[in-house]
A and B are shown apart, each in its own frame.
Chain A
Amino acid sequence: MTHRAGASRTLRVDALTRVEGEGAMYVEIVDGRVADVQLRIYEPPRFFEGFLRGRAHTEPPDITARICGICPVAYQMSACLAIEDACGVQVTGPLAELRRLIFCGEWIESHTLHLAFLHAPDFLGVASAVELAERDRPALERALRLKKAGNDLIELVGGRAIHPVNPKVGGFHRAPSREELLAFADRLRHARDDAVATAAWVAGFDFPDFEVDHELVALSQDDGRYPILGGRLVSDRGLDLAAADFEGAVAEEQVPHSTALHARLLERGNYLVGPLARYSLHHDRLSPLAREVAAAAGLGPVCRNPFRSIIVRAVEVVYACDEALALIDAYEEPDRPALDVPPRAGTGFGWTEAPRGMLWHRYDLDADGTIRHARIVPPTSQNQPTIEHDLFHLTEHHLADDDDTLRHLAEQAIRNYDPCISCATHFLDLQVVRRTSEPCGGS
């Protein structure tokens, strides 16, 4: 809907589709220059940190899995790592490898959902995945198969695909047998073929020429593998943090236009987490096939164009299939499905690479394991100031475009980050206001 009143122009879009959750986007243009860009989040943050207070130290994997239907494993694993840290237990060996395996399933299903069903329509000039299915059915059939392979891998290790029930503090309720995992390998090999074809598909899209200079931030695992679980937080500008030091290095600000917190690195400013950061910091840790696919798709070792994040996600899906196959091949059944994690008074920190970026948890426990305090910093709240920054500069470069073009570009720019606002809050509505500061004759 467009409303004109004198020299000011207001453009309102009733729904910002294909972004998870509900919220609003506000862009103000004064005298032909961008004056303000705000991501307005108006649903109160979900009260999971409050739900967790007073619960037993064994409960956060089940409770936090409910925060997101798309990335429950990341919530479960960050919670487990933090609680085990508080209790002085380190899960290693086959149990840690099973955690990495179920995480691969989550990357496959979450990335494929986003890139094929939510993001690809932007590049192909169609309104939705339904229209895309009518136009390019083989591509969506392939994506559906690929996504289902990810879901089924989560179900195989996690007991069910949505809010898995098998992971627990210390490991799993039941460890799968080697035969069960080997029986899935064929599915994964087909999924890997589908992932390679999907990467070639998205590489053929047209991408706006737009590069960003954000500090790229991702975990770095001590074992030299591509980052998924634990390690240190590093950046392309020398950041190097342990999980315990994260909250001392990051300020979460309350901003008037949003009930979601905005995270900034102290004395460094906004930063970027997620596939672009992981890829650019750890390109050399991808599997040979994933690197080959990236090169064939036209990616160098560093990618700073957020629109090309769709290719990076596709490359990470190839990697996740490859990595899952390697993990299954090397899997040895653990002696026990879980380590004992007796409670003790203390504070623990844990982090993982959710599909959308680093996800940090902190728990303060009483001696009997009762949770006194919980804190969760999801990737979307870390990327929010960065999304606003991108929108500011994109809008500046496209001021000559009409409102529809500008709106489409802004929506696409937001979807570049796959913002799971249901983690940080919810999302809908895009508003562009154009006005001049000069007096005008009309009313």
Chain B
Amino acid sequence: MQTDVLVIGGGAAGLAAAIAAAEKGANVTLVESGTLGGTLVRRIDDSFGKQIFGEVMTGREYVRRFTDKLSLYPRIRVVKGVVTALGADKTAEIVSTDGCRVYKAKAVVLASGSRERTVGMLDVGGTHPAGIMTAGAALKAMNVDGRRIGTRAVVIGSGESGLTAARRLTLEGVKVECVTERMPYSACTPDMKVYCLDDYRIPLLLSAEVSEIRGDVRVREVVILRSGGEEQTVRCDLVVVAAGRMPLSALYGFIKPGAKGIETDSHCMTCSAGFFICGNALHVRSGADNVSEEGRIAGGYAAEYALKRRIAEKAYWLTPTGNVSALWPQRIVAGEGATVAVRVNRPIRSACLAFKDGTGKTVMRKEKLTMIPGDETRIYLDAEDVTQNLYVVAEENL
């Protein structure tokens, strides 16, 4: 079957990409294996939509806004199925309830999201009995299936998903004994810590690692290793793993990644022409709004590529240096402004982000930023600011 734009994944990024591509007049095929909205349908807390819709809403309401809009476009065909293979010639093999079909697309938007790290990927010893689940699985069990999953829990990881899971567990009647964090600082924004942990008096153990999970059939206790080498045993029957997520990249092995994963230009196009990537499939973020915003960019330019073969002729590179661990997009299309997301490798309370040229001269500075490793800092660059390759460095204001 033929289509202009093939969008793989119907989450926050894919929905926005499909709508944006259809708005430009392209015929769109959206493939989603589960329910439209992806992991957002598990999120019943109200922390979405501030940037995109200007009001705060729950994850489900956020998805509803997008699916309502999606149904207005007859150009979008939603396929409930799984992409089992994707070729560099933009053909995709899709297995759905009505069989296996091969789709030929003119442009592909990869919005397949991320997968959670499981306990097997952590360095945790012990017997690994029943009662260990990821934060996403715990949220799904409680919010979608309405199950009670334990009585006393330990949460590994203080990122956004760990804190959300800790709060939901508490409200569902599960006592959260503690949240452990490997690093000496919390991976989330201070407001999340207040709203999810401090409000419910859940202790956050920094520089602490779960080293062992014990139990015969069900989890009985965990051993937490603190920074000084002391060990602490906590009785619990549930371990929730929220140790971060990784982009799902099994499909697009033929796209050559850079040092820090796949690199894109500010149109979200990868180095393979016609393949666009957006959302958590590109890099993992906490909020859905930025993901949808990126999806909108990717969908729009994918439609332009599919219909008019328009690609960016020239782009300038942005290179992270010093405390800046990564940034997206890595290439800024010449003559256009772009929003750049910057991540740092340690918290800087009063930071200044400097953009320098090859000789070390500062071209542009952004002052008074608070940067934390758990969340990206977004900065809008004007077209006039970027006229050459730039190096990005985060400096501390004293």
Q: Does B bind A?
A: no
List the interface of chain A (C-beta within 8 A of B).
none
List the interface of chain B (C-beta within 8 A of A).
none
